[in-house]
Amino acid sequence: MSAGFRRAKIVSTIGPGTWKPDVFRKLVEAGTDAVRINFSHTSREDAAKIVALVNEVGRETGRPIATIGDLGGPKIRVGDLPTETLEIEPEAFYWFVPEGQAPPESADSTRVIPTTYPQLAEEVEPGNRILLEDGRFEFVVEEVDANERWVKAKAFSAGELKSQKGINLPGVRVGAPPLTDKDLEDIQFANEHHLDYLALSFVRQPSDLVTTRQTMDKGCLLIAKIEKSQALNSLSEILPESDGVMVARGDLGVELPYEEVPMIQKRIIRLAQERARPVITATQMLESMIESPRPTRAEVSDVANALLDGTDAVMLSAETAVGEYPVEAVETMDRIIRRIEHDRLGRTGRAGKHVRGVSQIQQTTSGAIAAASMQAVERLDSPFIVTFTRSGYTARIVSAQRPSVPIMAITDQWRTFNQMALVWGVQPVLFRGDVNYKSMLDRAREVALDLGLGETGQRFVVTAGVPFHVPGTTNMMRVEEL
């Protein structure tokens, strides 16, 4: 069983193409471990249906399925244009004004672009770039009037601009609050429906995460989406305030030169793994499969490289939300992961990159126990590791070591059971009964034999925190016999 055990996880964004019960069940059968609800494009009514469907399928199958609510964040957008499209001409000047405000008298009324961000004129200055629609349109600021709140900029692109397209301001320190009114409403929804994770968009500094966590249900975990250049400058401070990170390559590739993104991806994954924070690599992973049943060779290589970098999970966006081949996209992702992990195990004895040297997390008691468990597994040739965990912390610490054997994480918490579906190398097991070492050990032996993880007489390593009811206290390691 361990040879066929998939370590890296698959996140599928659920949308009109997959929220029908029969399609969603096929998505789970194909290998989906976690579902993403994009609050920017999903009504609360539809989101509630998705959560109910996830819970229903999870209980039917006994499989853990993590739910991730993706907050829209302070996205700056083009407002509603007076016409269906606005023709953008190179070398022409355009005026950016707050939506609903009249442009200056000197402006050409046919070249006015309304924005949803009234503070734009206060934060840009001549020479700054303004990018629209993921960089399709580029403008350079020529003149600013902060009092009248307008920005005059020269276009360097051509095409037809539509309403509600995103605006990026590379290198500009945007002062918008981390949460919009809509985000606060979406967080309330997440609290009421007990979502497993919330992903915060456009994180710029650690305080953004602190502010968000104050509004969240304490049992929910917080993912920092890294898509702003400001976040990269504060990554070491942002990571401790998060429970996981997402490499949001779409906006990163607009905010920064696109050739920088691959190395940034590697850096984020490495730093997050050193701090035992699960990483999701996202955006355009199998983009061609929105309309095609097969991926391109370049996309396969992209997914493979993210896996070789050590990512915990890979994410499908439009491929499963609105694509024509959602199930095939998940099956493709599953095939790529299994092939890469098979080769990595065969060559190195490990299924992914492991923490190099002695990281900060290894200098803690929990990290030291996790590192010691790795050595014990290798010396005893153990077929699996068992963790007893209430919050999932023990499993995440062990996962960060990237062991070559499956991690059986046993918990009595339904939410933790689902949350661990996103963590690399973890096989979550839901425990029912008296929480004590002997009863949980008996359950571990039973599951190991049922899944074919080992054979009677083999030794395996157990890590846990004692007392069991205190989360985040991994302080024990034992060797047991199957």
- Ranges for all domains in the chain classified under CATH 3.20.20.60: 2-74+178-347
Token digits of residue 188: 């309330």
Span 172-230, pLDDT tens digits: 888 889 999 999 999 999 999 999 999 999 999 999 999 999 999 999 999 999 998 88
- Ranges for all domains in the chain classified under CATH 2.40.33.10: 85-168
103 vs 110: CA distance, rounded Å: 11
- Is residue 355 within 8 A of residue 362, CB to CB? The reply is yes
Which CATH number fits the domain 361-481, given the four candidates 3.90.1150.10, 3.40.50.1000, 3.40.50.1220, 3.40.1380.20? 3.40.1380.20
Span 413-438, pLDDT tens digits: 999 999 999 999 999 999 998 888 99
Which CATH number fits the domain 2-74+178-347, given the four candidates 3.20.20.60, 2.40.30.10, 3.40.50.720, 3.40.30.10? 3.20.20.60
Checking if the pLDDT of 468 tops 80, the result is no
Closest to 186 in 3D by CA, of 12, 33, 37: 37
What's the DSSP call for residue 245?
A: E
**Is there a cis peptide before residue 98, judged by omega within 30 degrees of 0?**
no
**H helix or E strand, kind and range, residue 339:** helix 326-348
pLDDT given for residue 359 in this prediction: 57
Token digits of residue 208: 């953004």
- The mean per-residue pLDDT over the stretch 238-242 comes to 96
Which has more pLDDT, 472 or 82? 82
Span 323-360, pLDDT tens digits: 999 999 999 999 999 999 988 764 444 444 544 444 56
Backbone phi, psi, residue 114, to 5°: -75, 145
Report the percentage of the chain scoring pLDDT > 90.
80
CA 407 to chain centroid, in Å, comes to 21
pLDDT given for residue 357 in this prediction: 47
Span 380-401, pLDDT tens digits: 999 999 999 999 998 999 999 9
pTM across the whole model: 0.91
pLDDT given for residue 157 in this prediction: 94
Q: Which amino acid is at 88?
A: I
Q: 3-state class of 135 per DSSP?
A: coil
- Ranges for all domains in the chain classified under CATH 3.40.1380.20: 361-481
Which CATH number fits the domain 85-168, given the four candidates 3.10.20.30, 3.90.1150.10, 2.40.33.10, 3.10.150.10? 2.40.33.10
Checking if the pLDDT of 361 tops 50, the result is yes
pLDDT given for residue 389 in this prediction: 92
Span 247-279, pLDDT tens digits: 999 889 888 888 999 999 999 999 999 999 999
Checking if the pLDDT of 474 tops 90, the result is no
Checking if the pLDDT of 105 tops 50, the result is yes
